[in-house]
Amino acid sequence: MNLQGRGRLWPLMLLTAVLALIVACMGAEGENTTPDDESGTAQRIDGGDLVVQGNEPDSLDPHWSAFQPDISLQRMLWRGLYTLDENQEVQPAMAAEMPVVSPDGTIYTITLRDGLLWSDGDDLTAEDFVLGIERTCNPDNAGQYQFALTSIVGCDDYAYAEEPTDEEKAELRAAVGVTAIDDTTVEITLANPQPTFPIVLSLWMTFPVPSHLLPDPGEAWPAGPDAPEALAFNGPYVLTEYVPQDHATLAANPNWAAPDGVSPTLDSLTVRFIDDTASANNAYRTDELQFALADTTVLSALISEFGDGDEYFESVRPSTRGLQMNLGREPLDNVDVRLALSQAIDRQALVDVVASGAHQATTSWIPGFVPAGAAPDAFDSCCGFDPDSARQHLADAGYPNGEGFPSGISLLIGDSSEAKDTGAFLQDAFKTHLNIDIKIEAVDGATRADRFYSIDYDLYIGGWAQDYHDPETWVVGLFETGSFINFTNCSNEEIDQLIADNLSNSDNDARLAAYARVNELIVTTVCGVAPFWHENAHYLIKPNVVGMSENANSQDAIQAGDWIAEAWGLSE
Amino acid sequence: MAHARALPLPDLLAGDAGGKRNGVWPDALKRLSRNRPAMIALFTLGAIFVLAALGNYVDVIQRYDPAALNYADGTKTGPSWDHFLGQDHLGRDTWARVLQGTWISLRVGLGVAAIALVVGVLVGGAAALTGSAGDNILMRVTDALYAFPDLLFIILLRAVLDGRDVPGGDVAIIIFTIAFVSWMTVARLVRGQMLSLARSDYVLAARALGASQTRIVFFHMLPNALGPVIVAVTFAIPVAIFAESALAFIGFGVAPPAASLGTLIDEGHRQIIETKWMLIFPGSVLAVLMLCFTFLGDGLRDALDPRSR
Amino acid sequence: MTAYVIRRLLWLIPLLWAVATITFVVMHLVPGGPFDSNDKLPPATRELLEEHYNLDKPVYEQYYYYMRDLVLVDIRSEPPFIYPDLGTSFTQDREVTDIISEGFTVSAQLGLSAFIFALVFGLTLGIVSALNQNSPLDYFAAALSSLGVAVPSFVIATVGVLIFAVELGWFDVLGWGGPAWHQMWNPLAWDWRKVVLPVVSLGLLPMAFIARITRASMLEVLREDYVRAARARGLSERVIILRHVVKNSLIPILTVAGPMLAALVTGSFIVERIFAINGIGTPFVDAVFRRDYGVIMGTTIFYASAVVIANLVVDVLYAAVDPRIRYS
């Protein structure tokens, strides 16, 4: 089941960015991997049909979605005023240039490029973008990423109105701080300055609405099968067919206004919805698919079958997994117990045995390629695998050789085979190295999430994927005492102080140094998590596919390089 | 009901008439013992049962802790003297795991059969004996539950009970969920048998001789009704073991580190590109179990229903 | 007979009410809600979503709303059918009736095809082995049906794909090749490369079951007096077998056919998942995992009606074939 990939993007951003004076684009050069052949020998040809594995979206409604497969497909079909390039920098897309911001930072004036058209030939105007933002704020639509627009004047009032009448709704809608000055000028008014706001304007929840087809912001977005007829598109592709649970077929949008000159060359692009990676890999073998996610269960066999760098590619995902601990429960409130658990985990063996070597073993919470992150082995000496030290810590905590350790401490895991294997590994490791018994509770994804959010667990296998390329997305809200997404009861005065002091720190070096220190504190005091690996993504790509270029962006959600699917194509 | 026919009084179960031997059960046993496939199946099942039981409680036979990850010795290995059936992807000993899995799968199969038998006999019997009002209510409830799509309802129930603290743990939950959709067949069968037996000559005769209702039900009707029920329950065992493997496939099997045969086969089929052993061994044991229960069920049916042989 | 069918159909109403109520209660006992698996959803947004779908209401109120909508039928102009309003999918933002009608077309074709496969091959194997009792042919048939009895469908599917699709290239890995319903009888409309493996994977178990029943039933009938009488009358063996034995052996098959067909149509999600077939099994299993109450309810109610109707049809057929059956 595809629960892991579900909506882990951006929710925090607004909370923090209101105060932040940072721009979220610290170059990630060198970390972007390009699975595709860069030597220039593989030239993209005109035409061809490409079939790729994907996951079925829940909805095609960009103003409602929070699910990665949704966002992946929506970015192929629509595009916002701005877009993030492979270095995570904001670049104009449908806008002609970067926004003009008022001196107090609250009024954004954005000019559209000339001659923009929807796929059906209708004019794409400022009103369409206004309507897009209004739809996300609309209470009838109940957009899951509405909170990303919190700083827009009136958006929250509109979204959270208590049982409004139609007239009240109309008034509230009119009060939302987004207006079309003329056909090509959008003006957005913020309640507070937000330097990261252009990033929001690159995201799906601000994509335009074809207002000539859907004039009312409360109107339901057509479902997949109806969408080819009922919708118009302004992205690189148009949807030509949608069969639920089966596939979506796309074709090049004749009216695509390529911001950087990249236009689709494919005759058709089919996203085949497949959840079972083993099936997808078999279909790849029989040429039914030209792109598939590699089944990491049998990774070494796949690598030798397809050849590392030939058809098999690996790329870094900005994601960390670890053993999370509820510090509100005895004996996990004792730092020595937590350190003992952390040091009892042979992370390299865990990666090799459980994940077939698919991930990067680590002791750092923030990955090394993120600003203020640390190398995977940076904390090995304090918190990495060391059975003797682990036993010593356990003895210091009052449980020499595990004696007297409370029974019934349980590890809450999901029902995927990787989660179960990880659970079995950890259970065995704690038994072998610490002589303590823990119980495993394997539950389905929704139960697991429910238990985690209500902090009803002892140990938990969880993690984080970055929302944007900045260390604050790795810590803010997660580790401060009592924060609303702090589900581990981590409470550390120094962490609290560092985060409070640096959210709005304009001295970037000092800010990064502070987050580096927070990372160190999290790891060395095991404040809620003992990181064990950074996730990598693994793909199979046919040699004649070009243009699948990765970036370490969370918008690069499902396929390799689907943040810029217009670059995909076939070579001879 | 095809099986509804008057059978001789089962003296064996009538208790007081210990010496006489002309009832249906001794005949059935004799017929069963002459059925070679069924007897082979019975002995194989017995051997597997004993081995699995010993393998879970006697270290010498188990050899390794099924939960111990010996990945340092190797992973995904084939059979060897050190590891009779090789090691799995985490380095666990497949021999120990298969013994554990067999034991769990047998518990699931037999547990479901036992619950289905008890509940089915109680409900079916009650329906047949409480007269038309009780019959109506009980059978309508049975009908309603019978209308649920089995596998879908098992999954839903499994989700409800997932992760709850139940005595017996996961295995008990799985047994309960599968049994929940399994007893209705038995109940209907028992009711049909009881109703036709109630009109049979010898029950009428027993009644005329002044036997009490309880005595008629428990000593005269139940033993005679039981033949087809035992056959049905025997066939329910492999169905339950299969249903458990379907649950394992979608991730609703027993929690690690324990594993049923279904879990092992699920793990094995995911690894098939790299190693076939992880599928072959638990798969073979499951296949043998399935076939044995089927042959045994066939044999029982032939034995208890003398028309076919 | 007619009165019997009408009574059975009327009985469907309280039955479905019971099914709906039981499912509703059971479903709400599952911990977690539809929006719980969304990692970072702020509490305010979750509340808004739950309000939008009436999930903030007490369970009995939700039950009232659901039942009310279920009873009030919604007549749509085209196609002119009456759809009960099964509500909306919380996670997909679509009508549950749409999800079911799309998925069911495929699952029904898959289930029916597997059923027909099981029937044809099961009967053949059963008849052949009964007529050649204890011959090599009998043992071969037994071995073949053992495969279905002894090996779980996901193993058959996985191994089948690796051998026949990946190695030999005879079949495709993905998808279902059934045609539109009105093309059902046209063999050219079927994409056999996509049909064979899923149907065989799903159909082997019932095939084995049918083969065993047929064999036993045939052997029984062959010993019946009227068959001996027919032989004594000097009828040709062919006529005896076809006219008397096979026909009469079919009766026990009919009794299992209804539940079997229902189980095939409703139980195909494993095969659907392995072959990425867009049936109804995957939406249901996903709905359970994601607490998509609307889809869980809709699917269960729909299938319960299908099961009941299938059983009714079988009972009627049973009466047609076996004149000894009377309805009271």
For the residues of B60-119, what is the DSSP string, one character each? HHH-S-TT---GGG-SS----SSSTT-B-TTS-BHHHHHHHHHHHHHHHHHHHHHHHHHH
Question: What single-letter amino acid sits at B240?
Answer: A
Residues C77-89 pLDDT 10s: 454 455 566 777 7
From residue A158, give the alpha-carbon distance in Å to each of A18, A108, A139, B134: 20, 20, 7, 58
- Residue C85's pLDDT is 67
Interface residue C175 vs chain A (CB under 8 A): yes
Output the domain CATH number for residue A119.
Answer: 3.90.76.10
Contact flag A300-B274 (C-beta cutoff 8 Å): yes
- Residue A21's pLDDT is 31
Token pair belonging to A298: 């049998």
Lowest mean pLDDT among A305-314, B101-110, B284-293, C7-16: C7-16
DSSP chain B: -TT-------HHHHSS-TT---SHHHHHHHHHHH-HHHHHHHHHHHHHHHHHHHHHH-HHHH-S-TT---GGG-SS----SSSTT-B-TTS-BHHHHHHHHHHHHHHHHHHHHHHHHHHHHHHHHHHHHSHHHHHHHHHHHHHHHHTS-HHHHHHHHHHHHTT---TTHHHHHHHHHHHHTTHHHHHHHHHHHHHHHHTSHHHHHHHHTT--HHHIIIIIIHHHHHHHHHHHHHHHHHHHHHHHHHHHHTT-SPPTT---HHHHHHHHHHTTTT-SHHHHHHHHHHHHHHHHHHHHHHHHHHHHSTT--
A31 is a domain residue: no
Burial of B147 (0-12, 13-18, 19+ CB in 10 A): buried
Are both A383 and A305 inside the same structural domain? no
- Cα–Cα dist A255/C96, whole Å: 35
- Cα–Cα dist B50/A416, whole Å: 33
Contact flag A449-C39 (C-beta cutoff 8 Å): yes
Share of chain C above pLDDT 70, in %: 84
- For chain A, the domain total comes to 3
Nearest CA in chain C to A466: C40
Q: Please say which residue of A194, A220, A246 terminates a domain.
A: A220
The CA-based angle B196-B199-B200, given to 5 degrees, is: 90
Give B52 to chain A, closest Cα distance, Å: 22
Q: List residues bridging with B199 in a β-sheet.
A: none
A28 is a domain residue: no
Q: Which residues of B touch A350 (CB under 8 A)?
A: none
Quote the domain boundaries for residue C130. 101-321
Token pair belonging to A391: 């036993």
- Residue B16's pLDDT is 39
- Residue B105's pLDDT is 94
**What residues of chain A score a pLDDT lower than 70?**
1-42, 467, 484, 504, 551-555, 557
Contact flag B91-A353 (C-beta cutoff 8 Å): yes
- Residue A507's pLDDT is 80
A9 is a domain residue: no
Q: Which residues of B touch C220 (CB under 8 A)?
A: 307-308
Interface residue B301 vs chain C (CB under 8 A): yes
Entry field: residues in chain C: 328
Rg (C-alpha) for chain B, rounded Å, is 22
Residues C97-125 pLDDT 10s: 888 888 888 888 899 999 999 999 998 89
From residue A428, give the alpha-carbon distance in Å to each of A341, A433, B102: 12, 8, 22
- Residue A128's pLDDT is 95
When CB atoms are compared, the residue of B68, B267, B271 closest to A428 is: B68
Q: Most B CBs within 10 Å: which of C154, C161, C205, as the mutation test of the B interface?
A: C154
Interface residue A425 vs chain B (CB under 8 A): yes
- Residue A198's pLDDT is 87
DSSP C117-150: HHHHHHHHHHHHHHHTTTSHHHHHHHHHHHHHHH
Tally of CB atoms within 10 A around A335: 16
| Mean pLDDT value across chain B | 82
CB A512 within 8 A of CB A372: yes
Q: Which residues of C touch B132 (CB under 8 A)?
A: none
Contact flag C173-A139 (C-beta cutoff 8 Å): no
Quote the domain boundaries for residue A560. 224-315+539-570
Are both A255 and A284 inside the same structural domain? yes
CB A290 within 8 A of CB A538: no
Beta strands in A459-498 (DSSP E): 459-465
A381 is a domain residue: yes
Question: Would you say residue C34 has pLDDT above 80?
Answer: no
Interface residue B143 vs chain C (CB under 8 A): yes
CB A191 within 8 A of CB A147: no
Residue C73 pLDDT grade (very low, low, confident, very high; cuts 50, 70, 90): low
With tokens 């409800």, the residue in question is B160
Contact flag A415-B252 (C-beta cutoff 8 Å): yes
Q: At what angle do helices B150-161 and B169-180 cross, to 10 degrees?
A: 150
- Cα–Cα dist A167/C126, whole Å: 73
Tally of CB atoms within 10 A around C197: 23
Are both A285 and A431 inside the same structural domain? no
Output the domain CATH number for residue A304.
Answer: 3.40.190.10
Residues A148-169 pLDDT 10s: 788 899 998 888 887 788 888 8
C62 is a domain residue: no
Give B28 to chain C, closest Cα distance, Å: 18
Mean pLDDT of B131-155: 81
- Residue A7's pLDDT is 36
The CA-based angle B212-B216-B219, given to 5 degrees, is: 120
Q: Which residues of C touch A274 (CB under 8 A)?
A: 174, 276
When CB atoms are compared, the residue of C40, C273, C274 closest to A8 is: C40
Q: Please say which residue of A166, A199, A220 terminates a domain.
A: A220
Single out the residue of A135, A127, A179 nearest to residue A153, CA to CA: A179
Nearest CA in chain C to A485: C40
A423 is a domain residue: yes
Mean pLDDT of C179-200: 86
- For chain C, the domain total comes to 1
CB C157 within 8 A of CB C271: yes
Nearest CA in chain B to C312: B147
Are both A528 and A548 inside the same structural domain? no
H-run or E-run covering A189: strand A185-189
Read off φ and ψ for residue A10, nearest 5 degrees.
65, -5
H-run or E-run covering B264: helix B261-270
Residues B211-236 pLDDT 10s: 887 788 777 777 777 778 888 888 88
Question: Would you say residue C50 has pLDDT above 60?
Answer: yes
Residue B9 pLDDT grade (very low, low, confident, very high; cuts 50, 70, 90): very low
Contact flag B162-A447 (C-beta cutoff 8 Å): yes
ipTM surpassing 0.85: no
Output the domain CATH number for residue C231.
Answer: 1.10.3720.10
A34 is a domain residue: no
Interface residue B183 vs chain A (CB under 8 A): no
Tally of CB atoms within 10 A around B132: 8
**What structural domains and CATH numbers belong to chain B?**
28-67+83-308 (1.10.3720.10)
Q: Please say which residue of A162, A193, A220 terminates a domain.
A: A220
A516 is a domain residue: yes
Token pair belonging to C228: 């001996």
Contact flag C307-B155 (C-beta cutoff 8 Å): no
Contact flag C42-A144 (C-beta cutoff 8 Å): no
C328 is a domain residue: no
Q: Which residues of A touch C52 (CB under 8 A)?
A: 140, 142
User: What distance, in Å, lies between the first and last C-alpha atoms of chain C?
Assistant: 9
A74-88, B13-27, B96-110, C275-289: range with highest mean pLDDT: B96-110
Are both A292 and A371 inside the same structural domain? no
Nearest CA in chain C to A11: C40
Residues B30-87 pLDDT 10s: 888 888 888 999 999 999 999 999 988 888 888 888 888 888 888 888 898 888 898 9
Please state the separation of Cα C196 from the chain's center in Å: 17
Token pair belonging to A300: 């070494």
Compute the count of residue pairs across chains A and C with CB atoms less than 8 Å apart. 144
Tally of CB atoms within 10 A around B5: 12
Question: What single-letter amino acid sits at A544?
Answer: N
Nearest CA in chain B to C157: B269
A166 is a domain residue: yes
Are both A531 and A547 inside the same structural domain? no
Residues C196-251 pLDDT 10s: 999 999 999 899 888 888 888 888 777 777 777 887 887 777 777 777 777 777 77
Share of chain B above pLDDT 70, in %: 90
- Cα–Cα dist A1/A275, whole Å: 7
Single out the residue of B123, B161, B129 nearest to residue B143, CA to CA: B123
- Residue A554's pLDDT is 59
Are both A473 and A564 inside the same structural domain? no
Q: List residues bridging with A190 in a β-sheet.
A: A152
Output the domain CATH number for residue A354.
Answer: 3.10.105.10
B88: helix, strand or coil? coil
